[in-house]
Amino acid sequence: MEIKNAFAGTLESGDILIQIAPAEKAGLQIELDSTVAYQFGEQIKKVITETLTGLGINDASVKATDKGALDCTIRARVTAAAVRATGKDVWAD
Amino acid sequence: MNSIKDRAALISEAAARMGKETFKGTADKNTMARTELTQQGAKVTTLEDAIRKSGLQDGMTISFHHHFRGGDKVINMVVAKLAEMGFKNLHLASSSLIDVHEPLIEHIKAGVITKISTSGLRGNLAKEISHGLMDEPVIFRSHGGRGSAIANGDLKIDVAFLGASSADPMGNACGYSRSENAKSICGSLGYALPDAQYAKHVIILTDDLVAYPNTPFSISERNVESVVVVDSVGDSSKISSGASRDTKNPRDILLATQAAKVIINSGYFKEGFSIQTGSGGASLAAVKYIRQSMIDQGIKASFALGGITAHMVKMHEEGLIDRLIDVQSFDKVAAESLKSDPMHQEVSANEYASFDEPGSATHSLDIVILSALEVDVNFNVNVLVGSDGIIRGAIGGHPDTAGDSALSIIVCPLLRGRIPCVVDEVTTHITPGSSVDVVVTEYGIAVNPRRPEIKERLIAAGLNVVEINALKDRAKSIIGEAAPLPFGDKVVGIVMNRDGSVMDVIKNIVD
């Protein structure tokens, strides 16, 4: 799937900023900067990975700047960024 | 005959018996006009000279107050001078330290400061110390605990460097100035008063040297050895920043209104009650919401304590609060009121909250509203170490007021971002659960099982009373399971209880 640069989210407390770019190498490269990295870093990466692969995106470079977002927020932001990056609207039908 | 000459032998005999000299006559009178003489002020000197005269040596203890909070300029200025003069191995004992004291990191690395005692740490200084910057653990005390420790000798201060908004050449000093050259104002100097009383040597730094006598004064000249004039001791506009801000956050306002309902229905809301609010948006705001009920029910408070705010001053001026007892002025309005209103009394940290002084004001306190970083299912409270294991707060008067008041109310959101505030066990034990009575969150109010009568009253008033475990479970269901924090094996902080015993230790965080 072709990927363009796209982002979704904000840097507000409780939110996460997801920036998606074309992959430099195969697979998902996730770079995470989180205020709750110690406690939830692995969980956040897992949710990002699951959400992207669920949308059929297996190769991308993702930069995530997290301000303590809940899993539901992370899924929503990743999905929105993926829609913008691929041009494929998952909510259309 | 009985002239002085005749009695000379008897005078000598009396002197010898008492081990005293006989009177040799006075020195010449100084006839200079006193307006000129006092302006010369034998105590007025430069910072460097004052430090030399103090006899400060490597390894000694220096102290400071933090009444200018985020606007403080004294600590960084003095420690930079001490570094320049080549001092090493000093113990810095401040009433607290905040973000603005970040330059201390370099002085710690250079060995100028090797030990710290404080109420709290914030910002990058706190972060570095949490990661193991210092070999010696930081000693944390509550404000009342610090007062006691200074009075009983647990914390011995060699040289106190105390910023004041006015001082006369003799050293009479205040947290405000009545002169037209006033540059700063911080109001109460409550946390500096134990230092002024007990330190071996006291240096006043002021940005407004006024004519003698600077009455009424907070710090008496008899406790002061030197007076140093500096450009600025602090930026008053930054006092009500950080922890003591006025909230516009809708969740804080919701919490404040809930806390007000708890107060009104607690059984302690009656004529002559007394109240204190801690720092933190919601607890500061709660007093705003009990105001209308005081007017409607014709109830007046005998005094408000603490951390005095503009809200408290307004209610005092409206006649709703009779007296204000002020160890720390939380904003400029409070500082101005302390200056102009004799019913607004400045008190020392000891008079405020000493555990071992039965007359200290906290012992006469009915209700205190406090914030928290974390509360656990046993009602223990942490206000010092973040849920990421990094120091990011201050003990303040939390355990003092919770312990001594008739009713302590903790106000905190259930979650801050993805961080739970109601947990199985607090990261660091600061205020013991035995002194915490009610926990107010936006998802319900939990009452300590030790206080069944309070629980009954709140339920009868129709408030949403829940079990503390239900709050903890609710938080966990929203955020998921957190991974354990990466603590190391080094102790970076020691928490003292207000009674002088060791309460807890803080371990380093390893990235």
The domain spans of chain B are: 41-238, 242-485
Residue B272 region by backbone torsions, left for phi larger than 0, else alpha for psi between -120 and 50, else beta: left
Nearest-angstrom CA–CA distance, B419 and B406 = 30
Whether A36 sits inside 8 A of B485 (CB atoms) is no
The dihedral of CA B84, B90, B95, B100: what is its sign?
Answer: positive
Nearest CA among B379, B372, B350 for reference residue B363:
B350
**Which structure tokens are listed for A50?**
């699951």
**Domains in chain A: boundaries:** 6-86
CA-to-CA distance for B43 and B63, rounded, in angstroms?
19
B residues 461-500 closer than 8 Å to A (CB)? 478-480, 482-483, 485-486
Do A69 and B417 lie within an 8 Å CB cutoff? yes
Q: Which of B385, B414, B418, B508 to mutate to test the interface with A (most CBs of A within 10 A)?
A: B418
Q: Where are the alpha helices (DSSP H) in B246-327?
A: 250-264, 281-297, 310-317
Contacting B with CB below 8 Å, chain A residues are: 13-14, 35-36, 38-43, 67-71
Q: Is A39–B418 a contact, with Cβ atoms under 8 angstroms apart?
A: yes
Closest CB from B417, B480, B509 relative to A68: B417
pLDDT at site B241: 55
Per CATH, the number for A6-86 is: 3.30.230.10
Structure confidence at residue B172 (pLDDT): 98
Q: Which token pair is A80? A: 């929105």
**Which residue from A36, A41, A71 is facing B419, i.e. has the nearest CB?**
A36
Determine what percent of chain B falls in helix, strand and coil, rounding each to the nearest 5. 35, 25, 40
Contact check, Cβ <8 Å, B418/A40: yes
So what's the pLDDT on residue B279? 75
**Residue A93: what pLDDT?**
60
Comparing CB atoms, the residue among A35, A38, A43 nearest residue B417 is A35
Residues of A in contact with B416 (CB under 8 A): 13, 68
- Was domain B242-485 assigned CATH 3.40.47.40? no
- For residue A48, give how far its alpha carbon lies from the nearest alpha carbon of chain B (Å): 15
Fold of B41-238: Glutaconate Coenzyme A-transferase (3.40.1080)
Residue of B nearest to A35 (CA): B388
Provide the b/e sequence for B48-77 (b: ≥16 CB within 10 Å): eebbeebebeeebbbbbbbbbbbbbbbbeb
Q: What per-residue confidence (pLDDT) applies to B242?
A: 47
Q: Do B417 and A13 touch (CB under 8 A)?
A: yes
- What is the rounded (10 degree) CA torsion for B337, B338, B344, B347? 160
- Give dist(CA B409, CA B440) in Å, integer: 7
Is residue B255 within 8 A of residue B348, CB to CB? The reply is no
Could you give the residue ranges of the DSSP H alpha helices within A27-91?
37-54, 71-86
| Structure confidence by residue, pLDDT tens digits, B81-98 | 999 999 999 999 999 999
Provide the pLDDT for residue B278.
82
In chain B, residues with a C-beta closer than 8 Å to the C-beta of A14 are 417-418
Tell me the count of A-B CB pairs closer than 8 A. Answer: 44
Mark yes or no for CB contact B389/A38 under 8 Å: yes
B389 contacts in A (CB within 8 Å)?
Answer: 38
Among residues A32, A65, A38, the alpha carbon closest in space to that of B386 is found at A38
Give every residue of chain B whose pLDDT is below 70, as ranges. 241-246
- Distance (Å) from the alpha carbon of A42 to chain B's nearest alpha carbon: 9
A39/B478 CB distance under 8 A: no
Q: Is the Cβ of B442 closer than 8 Å to some Cβ of chain A?
A: no
For residue A82 the two structure tokens come to 């993926």
Give B211-245 pLDDT, tens digit per residue. 999 999 999 999 999 999 999 999 998 887 544 45
pLDDT score at A6: 96
**Beta strands B173-174 and A28-34, pairing class:** unpaired
CA–CA min distance B258, chain A (Å): 23
Substitution target from A36, A71, A75 for chain B, most B beta carbons within 10 A: A36
ipTM of the complex: 0.84
Residue B245: the pLDDT is 57
B485: nearest CB among A14, A38, A70: A38
* Parallel/antiparallel/unpaired status of strands B273-277 and B367-371: parallel
The distance of A76 to chain B (nearest Cα, Å) reads 16
Q: Cβ of A67 and B417 within 8 Å?
A: yes
Residue B26 neighbours by CB under 8 Å, 6+ apart: none
